[in-house]
């Protein structure tokens, strides 16, 4: 009997930075929907492998593959592996992100190095994956790209604190809009989402939202029907201001 994992009808979803937190929960929720094979990616091979193993123990079709979004070589290696093994990319969730601003950081006392490292992961990481994997989506005329952003990147509600992180998420939103316009009408939908303040290592234990709540909108956007929104910014499945 053929394995479900080998069915050509199964969508392939790639989730970055997924060994824990929101990314891990996105993998779980995508896997539970059925008809989707999930590639859980992370920089740390031991943690990534353990995370994928845990989800497989829940009966989900999840496989780990190492990926450092801040490394051009790592992204090219990953894309080359997909190509060489004849795999598609139907869904890309750019979840990997860092918040490197020191506690209480302000623009005037921030360091350029913090900005560079933050943008390397939070903006250039998604850009690298998009450039490497959109060609695979175009082959099948289908794709869903979800950029995990933040309300801290909203120009409409910009405030003080974590300036490098805020700027990186604002830039990620700009990338979302620009890419969505470029890909309009080609079957590939591109959106940003804000998970809200979630109880994760980054969000802290006092955050009001669960990882299940934080992951829900990303999974919804990753599985939109044809004709769904593109170029939008969402929280709790509803559009929010840029």
Residue 229 CA from chain centroid, whole number = 17
User: Alpha-carbon distance 233 to 23, whole Å?
Assistant: 18
Residues 6 or more apart whose CB falls under 8 angstroms from that of 81 comprise 65
Has 165 been annotated as catalytic? Answer: yes
Q: How far apart are CA 140 and CA 149, in angstroms?
A: 27
| Residue in 24, 39, 115, 165 annotated catalytic | 165
State the Cα–Cα distance between residues 220 and 193, nearest whole angstrom: 10
Tokens of 177: 């809009």
Phi/psi class of residue 64: alpha, beta or left (left: φ > 0; alpha: ψ in -120 to 50)?
beta
User: What is the set of active-site residues?
Assistant: 165
């Amino acid at each position: 009997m053929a394995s479900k994992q080998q069915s050509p009808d199964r969508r392939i979803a790639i989730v970055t930075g997924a060994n824990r937190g929101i990314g891990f929960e996105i993998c779980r929720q995508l896997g539970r929907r059925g008809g989707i094979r999930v590639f859980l990616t992370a920089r740390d091979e031991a943690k990534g492998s353990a995370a994928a193993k845990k989800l497989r123990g829940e009966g989900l079709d999840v496989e780990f593959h190492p990926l450092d979004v801040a490394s051009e070589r790592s992204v090219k290696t990953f894309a080359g592996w997909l190509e060489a093994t004849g795999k598609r990319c139907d869904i890309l969730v750019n979840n990997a992100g860092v918040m490197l601003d020191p506690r209480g950081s302000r623009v005037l006392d921030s360091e350029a190095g913090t900005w560079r490292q933050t943008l390397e992961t939070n903006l250039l990481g998604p850009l690298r994956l998009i450039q490497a994997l959109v060609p695979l989506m175009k082959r099948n005329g289908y794709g869903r790209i979800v950029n995990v952003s933040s309300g801290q990147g909203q120009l409409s509600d910009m405030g003080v604190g974590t300036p490098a992180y805020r700027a990186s998420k604002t830039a990620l939103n700009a990338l979302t809009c620009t890419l969505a316009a470029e890909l309009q009408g080609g079957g590939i939908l591109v959106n940003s989402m804000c998970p809200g303040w979630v109880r994760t290592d980054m969000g802290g234990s006092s955050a009001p939202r669960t990882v299940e709540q934080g992951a829900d909108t990303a999974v919804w956007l990753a599985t939109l029907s044809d004709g769904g929104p593109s170029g939008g910014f969402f929280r709790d499945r509803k559009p929010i201001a840029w």
